[in-house]
């Protein structure tokens, strides 16, 4: 390596700080961002896990129609549509962040998620569940991207 490359490597190591968990804890801002991001992933997974239980609830089956939910393909699609929405959201989030800015993108995602959560209380048709979970996935992916 040349002297310039050695200098660049040395400077990068100084800027990077301590490696591993010690370096993460030493920097409070980085640690809080890591905790916040991991909580977002935890809640996302919790949502997926709980929806499987919601599908077997009697009140949900009565509202949506028990005959529509007994099909395993429909059950899987109802659960997996959140990931499809998240995939669509990830594809859109870079463009939206460039056009709106990250702050307004997050505010927009919060609004979409809030409206979607409120609409989820009144869902009465399977198509509404598909649409609601797709929008929920898009909002989650916009949030988790940052």
Is pTM, for the whole model, over 0.85?
no
Please state the domain count of the chain: 1
Expressed in angstroms, the distance from the first to the final Cα of the chain is 36
Q: Cα separation of 96 and 98, whole Å?
A: 5
Q: Are 109 and 79 in contact (CB under 8 A)?
A: no
DSSP per position, 85-101: HHHHHHHHHHHHHHHH-
Q: Are 141 and 91 in contact (CB under 8 A)?
A: no
Query: Which residues form the domain of 121?
Result: 3-144
Q: Cα separation of 84 and 73, whole Å?
A: 15
Q: What is the pLDDT of residues 71-107, one digit of tens each?
A: 778 778 777 887 888 888 888 878 888 888 888 888 8
Low-confidence ranges of the chain (pLDDT < 70): 1, 65-68, 120-127, 140, 142-146
């Amino acid at each position: 390596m040349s002297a310039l490359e050695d200098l660049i490597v040395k400077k990068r190591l100084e800027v990077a700080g301590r490696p591993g968990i010690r370096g993460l804890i030493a920097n409070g801002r980085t640690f809080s961002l890591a905790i916040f991001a991991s909580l977002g992933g935890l809640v996302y997974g919790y949502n997926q896990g709980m929806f499987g239980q919601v599908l077997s609830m009697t009140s949900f089956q009565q509202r949506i129609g028990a005959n529509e939910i007994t099909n395993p393909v429909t059950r899987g699609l109802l659960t997996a549509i959140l990931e499809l929405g998240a995939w669509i959201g990830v594809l859109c989030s870079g463009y939206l962040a460039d056009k709106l800015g990250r702050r307004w993108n997050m505010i927009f995602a919060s609004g979409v998620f809030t409206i979607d959560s409120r609409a989820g209380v009144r869902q009465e048709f399977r198509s509404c569940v598909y649409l609601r979970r797709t929008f929920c996935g898009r909002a989650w992916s916009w949030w988790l991207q940052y």
